[in-house]
Structure 1
Amino acid sequence: MSIVSKEEILPSEPSLIVDNLTKKYADNIVLDQLSLTVNPGEIHGILGRNGIGKTTLIECVVGLRPFNQGTIKVGGLDILSNRDDIMKQVGIQPQEANLFPRLSIEETMQLFSSFYGDPLAYSEIMNVLDLERIKNKRVKSLSTGQKQRLLVALSLIGDPSFIILDEPTTGIDPQVKQLIWKVLQKEKTDHNAILLSTHNMEEAEKICDRVSILHNKKIVASGMPKEIIMNNRKTMNDTLEDVFLHLTGSSLRGEID
């Protein structure tokens, strides 16, 4: 049973529409007329190499990063004119650097819960992510897997209809990864959508309903993982990782890879 309990009518609007988004840093174009749609009821993965612009895209989507051209709508609302209203319905995985190292897990959950008018019960979220038994442990003492579970928990506490996660399972044990996957699959409902960036091809194939591959500043392929494989494979045995390499190249890029 999902910890999310939405009772509204099924949304008619996509959870996210990015249309012709362009983002520059000085003369360097990072995203070039990029378009992307995420629908309610799906987990949508963004795949891309290191430094390709996945985090920049997420920052633009939630209004943390200004962009040069295009439009972004979350739940039908334009991010430039409705950011405060949008942020009431969006849950974002915070960066580790935004946590207070001396607070315990429970104190951190209490703090973030205070940011919302009608938050979910943080004790329930801690139970779901197996954090209750270590609730008194300080953030500075947490293992990588414990930190990742806490960050995911914090993205859920505001009872969001759109959840955005930036590489939530990087560098963690398979057991923790499987737990996070299970929680995310439960959070996906007819009313909720999840956007996550990932390097993990197994993650993309197992839990994502659709994926978009970001390369050369644009989305170069988008669809169900099996569709992307079928449309871009070079052999009958190609996997999503094989297709990703076909589309983005296999050579290393100096200090980036």
Structure 2
Amino acid sequence: MRLLLDLGNTRLKWALMLQPDGWLAQGALDWQEGFEPALVSALTGLPKPEMIVAASVVDAAREAQVADVMSRLFANNPIWLRTPTSACGVRNAYAEPQRLGVDRFLAMVAAYADGYAPCVVAGAGTALTLDALTADGQHLGGLIAPGPQLMQRSLLDATARVRPERPGAVLELADNTADAVASGCWQAAAALIERFATRMAPTLGGLPTLILGGGDAAELQPLLTLPVQMTRDGVLRGLAVWANTQTVTPSPI
């Protein structure tokens, strides 16, 4: 039994994994005041995992906070996966492999393990990430842009007169500022995903499978005209694939 931890920009996701796969329990917690007691409460009473594996895109202070909770609850420390040159059939395109976000790498590991390559893996969250993966697991590279909600916040922070009085709806043509801001940002994200997928088609041997995950995936999917394979918990599922390649070591007493 293994405890998987995905420390993302917005929240921590966790899953208790039965071997070789399948969740016994899972949950998610936003990074906010009271996070630590909430994490303790969520995990208290779970069976003790043989191994704790974690992937993180947050700062060292948050990692240390989570590690301290693991030590207190389970007398075990997380094994932190830092982005490798290659693992689980996926080969990293970055010249400095560790600079590729581990969340992006693990999402590709999950897609490859599920048999979707060649594919484009899109993650729609705080950031919008796009990665191209060949049939034999070679990562070709990708793009990063603000996610649609971050686009909206950035626009409001940088302008004096764009001040919607309500959340906007996503429309083809907006006749008010609230709808215009929401529509422009969400449609920009959808357009970038489709442009990337279609531009990658010749290199990937035809229109690739488009994998879409992340917190804003459900809202983005209806805006896309390309066929989409929706996915949930791509980082955790990729982490599970990687964890199954690791040897369990006894927990410290």
Give TM class, smaller chain. Answer: under 0.3
Pair member with larger Rg: 2
RCO greater where, 1 or 2, for CA within 8 Å and sep 6 or more? Answer: 1
